[in-house]
Homo-oligomer: A and B are copies of this chain.
Amino acid sequence: MTAAIASPSRSRGLRAMLAGARLAPLLDSSALLASMLRFEAALARAQADCGIVPREAADTIGAVCSRLLGDPAELASVFDPAALATEARRAGTLAIPFVRRLTDAVAATDTQAARFVHLGSTSQDVVDTATVIQARAAARELDAMLVALGDALAALADRHRGTVMTGRTLLQPALPVSFGWKAASWLDQLARARRLLARTVDEQAVLQFGGAAGTLASLGDCAPQLARALAEGLALPAPATSWHGARDRLARIGAELAMVCGAAARIGRDVSLLMQPEVGEAFEPSAAGRGGSSAMPHKRNPVGSMLALEAAFRAPALAGTLLAELVSEHERGLGTWQNSAFVLADLFEAAGSAVEAMTEVVAGLRVEPEAMRTNLARTGGFVFAEAVAMKLSESLGRQAAAALVERICHRALDTGHPLRQALAEDPETREALSSAELDALFDPATGLTGATAMLDAVLADWRAARDGE
């Protein structure tokens, strides 16, 4: 449960404090390099299938890649990130020093096989496809995390379908709602974020394979067949055309990740508001070392919500960067794709941080139904004003009823009386509504029919999505 705020990845330094533990290993330098190796191995294999590369050469390339993939220490030594980065900066692309090192590593086994490394491909093919592979892996893990958060929300919604509380609009009391319905509202948005992220990744995270200019020119007639074989080898969809100049695919994934951050942060915003001691309706779980203060020993801070909110401050801008990079020049843009892998990783990291943090919060949320009832009672019954006006409108019409109720509300506010009493004292109201009718109107449970129907519909959707898996 508390793993959420634990053990982030080493490769980000102190920045890991704003990243979750589960996605980080899928997003760091080694993960990107591993995806690049997978691309090169699959390329050689597909080229062997198409007869462009000798089978033994492809096997050797594949074996070397497998060995490196299986041995993090050798991987880190062959592809030292700092050295690679230095050369990549000079070359303008990570692929050039990467391919050089891989070729050398293959040559150490078999100089003949080394001839066929990266054949007919180009820098952006390997970098973009590796980004796509990385995105799929991260999205898969994030999906599992979203399921956990969604399940926690569904449980909360179900458990609290009858827990009455103040509904608040524009930060002011509006009407009674149920906490279950509130949780279902969070779930509805989160479920949408989950479903659409998954669909977007499925549709947009596809093979990029185009060669030097995107036309697979050097591969001649076997180009289409090879592209299909490579896609199959990597278990990636094969698009109609190479897309290295069309950055919308990755930008769409980025936008959906910002949606995930927003869905999580909206919950965090509400929890942190409910946790204000003057409100006191729900609390983040507490644990040793969690949410303290260096100066105030008594503090219990909403740190999970804070992490989600922090992520949601960064995500729109990161998604906006990918949108700005859509305007790419000719067959390969200048500055419009070189940061894609990193910006997308930042977005995954932010989403992972927010979802991890909020899963811990929601799963351990301490709900205070008593405080909810008390706060509702303290509203002086004004939250039932709409129901009264609605009932009165049957006889008076909406506008006249609204005017009457507004008048009585102000009288109640002026005298400090609860609305129930002020209504009972008003002759016009007494004529229109019996005491029993008034009682029914002031029962918080009366108005929850619609809320409960919505709650059930949201839960049904969630379960259907879960069952369909």
Contact = CB atoms under 8 A, between A and B. Distances in A.
A273 B335 contact: no
Question: For the side of the interface on A, what is the size category?
Answer: 35 or more
A5 B89 contact: yes
A65 interface: no
A317 to B, nearest CB: 4
B189 A246 contact: yes
A216 B450 contact: yes
A306 interface: yes
What is the predominant secondary structure among interface residues of chain A facing chain B? helix
Given A301-B172, A399-B103, A454-B241, A119 B328 contact: no
Contacts of A301: 92, 169-170, 172
Contacts of A453: 223-224
Nearest to A221: B449
Interface in A99-157: 99, 103, 107, 111-112, 114-123
Given A188-B240, A316-B324, A393-B115, A16 B177 contact: no
Nearest to A289: B90
A397 to B, nearest CB: 2
Contacts of A99: 294
A215 B451 contact: yes
Contacts of A10: 81-82
A219 interface: yes
Nearest to A223: B450
A461 interface: yes
Given A248-B193, A334-B170, A243 B188 contact: yes
Contacts of A112: 397
Given A328-B266, A332-B170, A461 B215 contact: no
A235 interface: no
Per assembly, the copies of the chain total 4
A325 B269 CA distance: 12
A272 interface: yes
Contact of A457 (B81, B122, B220, B240): B240
Contact of A330 (B167, B402, B450): B167
A262 B390 contact: no
A283 to B, nearest CB: 11
A338 B321 contact: no
A429 interface: no
Contact of A213 (B177, B259, B292, B400): B177
A447 interface: yes
Contact of A386 (B15, B217, B327): B217
A326 B266 contact: yes
A36 B118 CA distance: 47
A389 B313 CA distance: 35
Contacts of A245: 185, 266
Given A175-B217, A295-B212, A398-B118, A327 B266 contact: yes
22 contacts: A14-B33, A115-B401, A168-B213, A175-B211, A184-B241, A188-B246, A189-B246, A218-B386, A220-B449, A223-B449, A241-B455, A247-B262, A252-B259, A259-B326, A269-B327, A277-B379, A297-B386, A297-B409, A307-B335, A307-B338, A309-B334, A313-B325
